Amino acid sequence: MEEPNDIAGDDPWWAIAALSPVSLCIVGLDGSVVMSNAAFAAMVGRGADELRGMHFRDLTHADDVGRGQELFDEALRGERTTYRTTTRLLDADGHVVWGDISVALVRGAGGDPQYFIGQVLDVTRDRADRAKLTETVREGVREGARERTRSDVMLDSVDVGMVLLDSDGRYERINRQQQVILEIAYPEDHLGRAGQCGEVYAADGVTALTSEQQPCSRAARGEEFEDQRIWVGATPGDRRALAASARSVRDDRGRRDGAALSFTDVTDLFESLRAREVFVASVSHELRTPLTVVLGHLELLLDQDELPEEVSRELRVVARSAVRLRALVADLLDPATTMAGDRTRGEIALDCVSTDLTGLVVEVVESALPGALAAHVVLAARTHGTTRVVLDPHRVRQVVENLVGNAVKYTDSGGRVDVVLDLRDHEAVLSVADTGIGIEAGDVAQLFTPFFRADPARRRISPGLGLGLGIARSIVLAHGGRLEVHSEPGRGSTFVATLPVGGPA
């Protein structure tokens, strides 16, 4: 067998290898270093002479020696001719140098093993960069987990049910409150997809929602909506009223990627409205008896022929007001009218006849004059002769009285209210304009909601339940007309009621 020193010394290849920037070394069959080039010596921080005769085990980290020796022995036994491994080498100061080692066993002409040639790449920096990258990724994962935990805690702390749907309508995420809602709505267990039928009902609490009508199904189809009222649960004690809202979720390219829904528990609100109805009905019943007595005595007085004309005229004004008050009490007892802000055309019964609307408006203004004078508010009416319209005089009088009364009520001393009746394109247009306190833009949309009263109205401590405008709009709609409002805080409001001359279609 040739000595590695002799072969390496005579081989022109080794002369070139000695100058290569790639770390190279020759190791004898006993595992000791025979020769190494300058690159390898520099990598492990030792001189070439110091390296000569050192066993490769002395250059290897203790934890990697076993694997290195195993590969070396397998090559000697002929089980492999080459091998590659990543090993921790130790420099002269004991610092770890990561090496990517490729080893080949050189055999002589007769096939006998001669020595090993090894090529070593310093991958210490690569390993450090990889470890840093790995730690960065791990920290990102940990931060993501922490963020999700914080998000979960935040979502679970609110009393609103939250649902996140993916693009296929599957439940991707829900909070604790929504889990409670699902247990009530789906006592047999929820399958985690939009559209499952369960104990889910429409706002009336009776009509079961179909799969397509359910809030999550609508959201999964891309619908966006606010305040869909539903009931969930079959047991009276557990039933909850919910207001569902939905918004689409979009990716960074604007494509729909799911939906987010919220379910707000409005059971207490529903019960509060029901309690209000009971209260109003109870008070209204109590008002009927004294009103009947008042009207009866007014009739007796008006039947007396010897009354002066001025007194009779005043008593007739009182009688008309008492009749109107009785009608208002009857309206309060009618749930359909009480909730007029939620009603649409056709739900209020009308008794329409051809009526002199001009005379009706003038009568209302005359009845309101004493109150306006007491409040030091100028009340003026402008009409154009007789205007005959097919309408329910009792109901329309209610509208005019409400608009005129509100205008006087919310106009400060020294202000003015103008009532104008015009005929335009087969429509009677009644305008009631005041120079009063006005209405905030955010309150205008809610003016016709039952029991709603704007903040300025509440601050004035003006009497009223907040039903009048809702009832007025319901009456106008029932006639096939429309009721509009234009207002500016501090400058006043204008209410415009438009009625078809020929009556409801």
Answer whether CATH 3.30.450.20 is correct for domain 4-122. Answer: yes
Kindly tell me if the per-residue pLDDT of 181 is higher than 80.
Answer: yes
Q: How confident is the model at residue 504 (pLDDT cuts 50, 70, 90)?
A: confident
Q: Looking at residue 338, what is its pLDDT? A: 44
Q: What percent of the chain has pLDDT over 70?
A: 83
Torsion-angle region of residue 285: left (phi > 0), alpha (psi -120 to 50) or beta?
alpha
Residue pLDDT, tens place only, 364-383: 999 889 889 988 999 999 98
Domain boundaries, the chain: 4-122, 158-265, 276-333, 338-500
More confident residue, 11 or 107: 107
Q: Looking at residue 232, what is its pLDDT? A: 92
Residue pLDDT, tens place only, 451-470: 555 555 544 444 455 567 88
Kindly tell me if the per-residue pLDDT of 340 is higher than 50.
Answer: no
Phi and psi dihedrals of 255, rounded to 5? Answer: -85, 145
At 243 the three-state DSSP class reads: strand
Kindly tell me if the per-residue pLDDT of 335 is higher than 60.
Answer: no
Q: Looking at residue 452, what is its pLDDT? A: 56
**Paired tokens of 195:** 């559209």
DSSP 113: E
Kindly tell me if the per-residue pLDDT of 343 is higher than 90.
Answer: no
At 484 the three-state DSSP class reads: strand
Kindly tell me if the per-residue pLDDT of 400 is higher than 90.
Answer: yes
More confident residue, 220 or 21: 220
For the segment 12-27, the average pLDDT, to the nearest whole number, is 78
Kindly tell me if the per-residue pLDDT of 390 is higher than 90.
Answer: yes
| Gap between the Cα atoms of 33 and 40, Å rounded | 11
CATH code for the part of the protein at 338-500 = 3.30.565.10
Buried b (16+ CB within 10 A) or exposed e, 49-74: eebeebebeebbeeebbeebeebbee
136-145, 238-247, 450-459: which range is least confident on average? 450-459
Query: What is the DSSP secondary-structure string of 215-227?
Result: HHHHHHTT--EEE
- Evaluate whether 4-122 and 158-265 have a shared fold: yes
Which of the following CATH numbers is that of domain 158-265: 3.50.50.60, 3.40.50.2030, 3.40.109.10, 3.30.450.20?
A: 3.30.450.20
| Gap between the Cα atoms of 34 and 49, Å rounded | 10
206, 261, 277 from 202: Cα distances, Å: 7, 17, 21
Q: Looking at residue 32, what is its pLDDT? A: 94
Buried b (16+ CB within 10 A) or exposed e, 429-466: ebbbbbbbbbbeeebeeebbbbbbbbebbeeeeeeebb
Q: Looking at residue 278, what is its pLDDT? A: 67
Compute the mean pLDDT over every residue in the chain, rounded to the nearest whole number.
Answer: 83
Q: How confident is the model at residue 139 (pLDDT cuts 50, 70, 90)?
A: confident
More confident residue, 45 or 275: 45
At 187 the three-state DSSP class reads: coil
Buried b (16+ CB within 10 A) or exposed e, 100-130: ebebebeeeeeeebbbbbbbbebbbeebeee
**Paired tokens of 12:** 């022109």
212-216, 297-301, 355-359, 404-408: which range is least confident on average? 297-301
